[in-house]
Homo-oligomer: A and B are copies of this chain.
Amino acid sequence: MKRRSIKQIVYNTMYLQDTLPGKAFNLLLIVSIVMSVFVVLAYSIPSVAAEYWYAVNYLEFFFTVLFTIEYLLRAWCSPSSKSYMFSTFGVIDLLSIAPTWITIIFPLFPSLALLRLFRVLRILRLVKLLQYLNDTHLMMQILLNSRRRIAVLSLWIMVLVVIFGTLMYVIEGQENGFTSIPISIYWAIVTLTTVGYGHITPQTVLGKAVASLIMLIGYSMIVVLAGVISQEFSDVKKKLQGMTCSSCGTSDHAHDAVYCKRCGARL
């Protein structure tokens, strides 16, 4: 019985943020996550990693132990250990501590490239921060309800950059840097999204004319699509929030309305 209540207290502290210890724990966890991410960043800078080799490794080890304890406690105190371990955040928690343990247990890690890949998995700790954002709800719902529209837009953009990329490949050719269609498509994406690295630029007159067209399409699309999508979202939001008055049929009441704003009837 006592053990169960301890489990309950740990659960409340870790998962609920209403109580004072819960708030303290979660604040500490956020600070730890941010600091451990900075350690991973520092580790990747050759000069810092060389000079502060011990400090960086000790900090990394310290945070790994900390997050391992957190992982074990979460698995132990949650009503179903299995459902936590196979949840998105459970997997991320595991992936972000595993690399350090594996490099400690197998110090003679075979491939250096794989080791590097492995190490950066620790950056996933950052994703743990996202669980504290609990008001992305409406925004997410709007985006989910518009996912078909967004997919259609993406397909249009894809077709646009493939056609324009191919066109530029034919016009400019290999001698001006457009060495293959995929490279030309990459260039078209760089231009349409108005990023414009400038590592490849059209040299022929016709190529410059087509490039101008791509730029103007990319630029106008921001302006025009922002307007269209704003109208789209306005519909989706109304649908998500809408209640219909049974007496007069008005449907776009505010989401917290109790009485119909037109006829005064109770909703």
Contacts and interface: CB of A to CB of B under 8 A. Distances in A.
Interface of A: 37, 40-41, 44-46, 116-117, 120, 123, 126-127, 129-130, 133, 135-136, 139, 142-143, 148-150, 152-157, 159, 162-163, 166-167, 169-170, 174, 179-183, 185-186, 189-199, 201, 205, 208, 211-212, 215-216, 218-234, 237, 248, 250, 252-264, 266
A42 to B, nearest CB: 8
Contact of A170 (B120, B129, B182, B259): B120
Contacts of A201: 197, 199
Contacts of A220: 150, 153-154
Given A46-B179, A126-B162, A170-B117, A228 B195 contact: no
A195 B212 CA distance: 10
A216 B190 CA distance: 9
24 contacts: A41-B180, A44-B182, A120-B167, A120-B170, A123-B166, A126-B159, A130-B155, A135-B148, A136-B156, A139-B149, A150-B220, A153-B220, A192-B219, A198-B198, A199-B201, A219-B222, A222-B223, A223-B229, A226-B230, A227-B233, A252-B254, A252-B256, A256-B262, A259-B262
Contacts of A227: 226, 229-233
Of listed A123, A127, A133, residue having the most chain B CB within 10 A: A123
A230 B229 CA distance: 9
A247 to B, nearest CB: 12
A156 B152 CA distance: 24
A99 B197 CA distance: 34
A41 B181 CA distance: 6
Contacts of A117: 170
Of listed A130, A185, A194, A263, residue having the most chain B CB within 10 A: A194
A146 to B, nearest CB: 8
Given A45-B180, A193-B194, A223-B229, 16 more contacts: A37-B162, A41-B181, A46-B179, A127-B159, A129-B159, A130-B159, A142-B231, A150-B224, A190-B212, A192-B219, A196-B198, A222-B223, A224-B229, A230-B231, A256-B256, A258-B261
B45 A139 contact: no
Contact of A226 (B211, B223, B234): B223
